[in-house]
Every structure is written in C-alpha cells, then in structure tokens.
Amino acid sequence: MRAMIAVKTAVLLTGLVLAGTCRADTGPKPDVNSKDFETQTILSGGGGIGLIGQSFPQGGTTMPISVRLAQRLRFPRHTSLGLELSFVVPIGLGVNVTCDVYRNDRVRIHLVDPGIHWNMVEPVSVSRVKRSWDLTLGAGLDVRLTDQLWLTVDWRTFLPDPTIINKYGDWARPIYKEAALGGQLWLGISRSW
C-alpha cells in the first residue's frame, strides 16, 4: 500500500514539475532565421554509475554498461517540448518527451523527460524482475560544438511498471532502489539537421 502511494506521489510530482518547467519562452528567443523543425541523431554510451560499490539482495541485475541510439524531433521556434525515440542496444525501444528548461544558441538543458521503454530482450534495470515495459524519467545537457555537431550528456532511470507493486508488495522497495541507482548516464555525440 505504501509503495503504491509512493508511486502515485512520484507521478503527481513529475507532472507538476513538468507543468512548471515546460514553457515556450525558455531562454533567449531564437533568431528569426532559426529552423521551424529540427531533428537530432544521437550515438552515446555509458552505464549505471550509481551501481558502483552497491550490493543488492540476490545480486544486482541492472546493466552496468549500455549503448544508446536516439532521434530527437523538435520545433524550436514554437515550443520547448520535443519527442525522443531511442534504442538501448539490444535491450529495447523507448519514447520520451523532452522539455528544454533552458536553451540558447550553444546550450540546451532538458529536465524530467518522462517516457516509456519497451523491454524487447530484458529490462535495463533489475532484469531479475520480468516485465515488458518500464517508466522512464531523465535529464540532459546538449552543448553545440559546430553548426551541426553537439556533445550530449543524458541520464535516464528505468523504473519497473507500477503493477509489480501488486505482485511484490513491500518487496518492491529494493527493486525500485536498484532501478533508481542503476539510472543510465550516457555521454555522446549528435548531429542536427
């Protein structure tokens, strides 16, 4: 019961943060020559740095190292929201909404990034608990290197779907703890069009 209340509270707080941070007028206004539509292709690698030195019941089963391919779609002149499609190789596919809380010509910061990840092979985090999908939350930073190249830093946590609380009850607490600590931090390079 307490675990379900905690999940509902987390979802509500995420919604409030998203509503408060996603504004169309973030940062300096883009110049009139900026693109209406932008796509960004990302290749990044990293892993669950929060897992270093941790021990979990039955041993941790979160991926320590991962590779990600992603595509972001944005309408930068009109909204701070974007859509990200990602593939954690070879684990699964995800879709996230990105929300730029700050942006200018050289830097973009996005927070919350709620989404869903479908586990095609096994879950990214806590793979000992079998499930077909995860809730994802994250954040990121993009720094422009050239006109088309960006350095990207992204973090995503893969939280087991809330239905496992009904199955595991209070035993779900260490599962969510491992998932939170096993959030994947990726460093990458991207190209925008």
The residue with greater pLDDT, 152 or 6, is 152
Statement: residue 78 has pLDDT above 50: yes
Q: Which pLDDT tens digit goes with each residue over 115-152?
A: 999 999 999 998 888 899 999 999 999 999 999 999 99
3-state secondary structure the chain: CHHHHHHHHHHHHHHHHHHHHCCCCCCCCCCCCCCCCEEEEEEEEEECHHHCCCCCCCCCCCCCCEEEEEEEEECCCCCCEEEEEEEEECCEEEEEEEEEEEECCCEEEEEEEEEEEEECCCCCCCCCCCCCEEEEEEEEEEEECCCCEEEEEEEEEEEECCHHHHHHHHHHHHHHHHHHHCCEEEEEEEEEC
Place of tokens 């590779």: 67
pLDDT in tens, 85-94: 999 999 999 9
Average pLDDT over residues 6-27: 48
pTM greater than the 0.75 cutoff = yes
CATH number at 91 reads 2.40.160.20
Tell me the pLDDT band of 49, cut-offs 50, 70 and 90: confident
Nearest 5°: the CA angle 104, 85, 17 is 55
Mean pLDDT of 150-179: 88
Residue 179: phi and psi, rounded to 5, are: -65, -40
Q: Which residue has the higher pLDDT, 10 or 64?
A: 64
pLDDT band, very low/low/confident/very high, at 5 (cuts 50, 70, 90) = low
- Residue scoring higher pLDDT (140 or 35): 140
Q: State percent of the chain over pLDDT 70.
A: 78
pLDDT reported for residue 51:
72
Q: What is the pLDDT of residue 15?
A: 52
- Looking at the structure of the chain, the number of domains it has is 1
User: Which is higher by pLDDT, 13 or 187?
Assistant: 187
Q: Is 16 a residue whose pLDDT tops 80?
A: no
What does the pLDDT read at residue 18? 47
pLDDT for 162 equals 86
Structural domain of 112: 2-192
Per residue in 109-135, is it b (16+ CB within 10 Å) or e — as a string? bbbbbbbebebeeebbbbbebeeebbb
The residue behind tokens 């209406």 is 36
